[in-house]
A and B are shown apart, each in its own frame.
Chain A
């Protein structure tokens, strides 16, 4: 079984993020780039599946040249090879374009399963997995908290507000995972050393067969017109209980339309 895991390099989750004033895009220079945390769960799941069923794991990322660090991290956890899709033409791509570009890049390789995180911690649209499945014409099994493969059939628990649905499809398919699904392993020292020798294929727009007119900031379907700093938090309301604390709390919650 061959599994492709799509991973994104994002600004350090812990760091204060800001938009560049002129382009209104995320300032990616100002903080340490890291592998999107949710994608570690996708990698772990792919590794577990290939450990159980045999096969190999390929990591794919679209990003600037430095995004190969995210690929290396996945390789040091145990993935077998990588694909780095990088081209100045891709800069500023929105979710629609990202899904198109990834779909085209996937066209350069074979696979039985594509696994993604369910959300990138920077833009957080959570759109790429579903859009990608649509573009590939494959079943989408999103928000998976459990994945099982039996022959060519795949079954996932799809996390919902009320519990989970059990969803089944035939491979190949596209899956996105939630953090509940597993406990990602750390890379090992030997894994880090081995990762340096694992192959990473570089793709640009031409090699992936991407129409440059459909990607990049110019092609984005949405435009960020303005951005403002989040206002500082205002002081909260303090309720002193003088026998009527419960009522006051209920009134507050009701005024905020919570109840």
Chain B
């Protein structure tokens, strides 16, 4: 695979990238098509990445993280997604699941759980959506009732979380639950462990794409979660969830650029070798210009998420930029992957080539972690607020 020209800040990140490329070539690329077709969840690949230190990149070294800025972490996610979206998105979701504890947990909680969560063996899930509340996430109804007031007490949780990535395979679940009827202010965040009695899982969704990644409901039937596992304070859950999503959206944007890059690579390759009318089709301006537009929008997308990432790394507000990057990159990936199928002609419409898979994969990125309508909502509100 041709290396993408990247600006990385130092030798450390360049060494990291070499490792990522080796893992992509040896562990991701050979499996992607087969696992996606067989709907096989690559748990062992996450373990290999974990051992290599790739499941903790954006977190503090103090707790076992890789101590990398978002500028570097996201480019790793992009490269993973370029080779296999199920893995790139999985790494992003795992980071999202760690976000609450790492940023809002007490020192004591972080010392107790974070090293394990970042250690590479564990995989996380982030549970916000419910069957009846998607975009309107604050309408969630999963109930958590606390018994008693001491640390030894527990929340009893009942309800259904929907669309949960890694459901049934994850080792920990960051759950947004309702602790009072006060709308968004009545939401709290709990960190549940796999194996908690009353924590069950639905049947995996039969998805259009990214079929190697498991998406299923998380069923809470009187699950008792120790009160010491409350992240932040009661009522803080929704702002924790949104703050995590702000960072998570950048992960989705990076995934989109990765998928689009993969489609572009395949299209350039194919257009250079496929001959019609005695010429490689890339020589026809109609095709060549399409490739040029694809390459341009991939590059602009990468610049967009990196702009937001660098703001985050500099400690500046980046929510609007993250929403813009998510919106632009995922719409861009949809267009680029669709065009890649066009470049392949009839061959592109078959599963013998990867571009139809990229097209199916791109679609989900316009939906998750806030649909692109919701991103526009976020951006337009920011415009009129000031």
Interface size class of A (residues with CB under 8 A): under 10
Listed stretches B48-56, B83-91, B194-202; interface member: B48-56
Asked if B290 is at the interface (CB within 8 A of a chain A CB), the reply is: no
Number of interface residues, chain B, beta carbon within 8 A: 13
Which residue of A has the minimal Cβ distance to B61? A190
* Cα(A6)–Cα(B99), bound, Å: 44
- Stretch of B14-22, B157-165, B350-358 with 4 or more beta carbons under 8 angstroms from chain A: B14-22
Convert B328-365 into 0s and 1s, putting 1 for each residue whose CB lies closer than 8 angstroms to a CB of A: 00000000000000000000000000000000000000
Is B5's CB within 8 Å of the partner chain A?
A: no
Task: Assess whether A205 is interfacial by the CB under 8 Å rule.
Answer: no
The reply to whether the CB of A149 lies closer than 8 angstroms to some CB of chain B is: no
Main secondary structure of the interface of B (DSSP, over half): helix
Q: Tell me whether B116 is interfacial, beta carbon within 8 Å.
A: no
Residue-wise interface mask of B (40-69) relative to A, using a CB-CB cutoff of 8 A (1 in contact, 0 not): 000000001001111001000000001000
Are A186 and B12 in contact (CB-based, < 8 A)? no
A190 to B54, CA, bound (A): 10
Contact B15 A193 (CB under 8 A): yes
Residues from chain A with a CB closer than 8 A to the CB of B378 are: none
Contact B12 A193 (CB under 8 A): yes
A186 to B18, CA, bound (A): 12
Q: Is B33 an interface residue (CB 8 A)?
A: no
- On whether the beta carbons of B53 and A189 are closer than 8 Å, the reply is yes
Is the pair A192, B51 in contact by a Cβ cutoff of 8 Å?
Answer: no
Report Cα–Cα, A20/B130, bound state, in Å: 66
B51 with A189: CB separation less than 8 A: no
Collect the chain B residues with CB atoms within 8 Å of residue A190's CB. 53, 66
* Nearest Cβ on chain A to B50's Cβ, whole angstroms: 9
Q: Is the C-beta of A64 less than 8 angstroms from some C-beta in chain B?
A: no
Q: Is A187 an interface residue (CB 8 A)?
A: yes
Residue of A nearest to B22 (CB): A186
Chain A residue numbers with a CB within 8 Å of B19 are: 186-189, 192
| Distance from A185 Cβ to chain B, minimum over Cβ atoms (Å) | 7
**Which A176-208 residues sit within 8 Å CB-CB of chain B?**
185-193
Tell me which residues across on chain B come within 8 A of A186, comparing CB atoms. Answer: 19, 22-23, 48, 51-52
A98 nearest CB across to chain B (Å): 28
CA A75 to CA B144, docked complex, whole Å? 50
Find out whether the CB atom of A192 lies under 8 angstroms from the CB atom of B22: no
Give the distance to chain B from A93, nearest Cβ to Cβ, in Å: 29
Q: Chain A residues in contact with chain B, CB under 8 A?
A: 185-193
Among all A-B residue pairs, the 3 with the closest Cβ atoms: A189-B53, A188-B53, A192-B15
CB pairs A–B below 8 angstroms (20 shown):
A186-B19, A186-B22, A186-B48, A186-B51, A187-B19, A187-B52, A188-B52, A188-B53, A189-B52, A189-B53, A189-B54, A189-B57, A189-B66, A190-B53, A190-B66, A191-B53, A192-B15, A192-B16, A192-B19, A193-B12
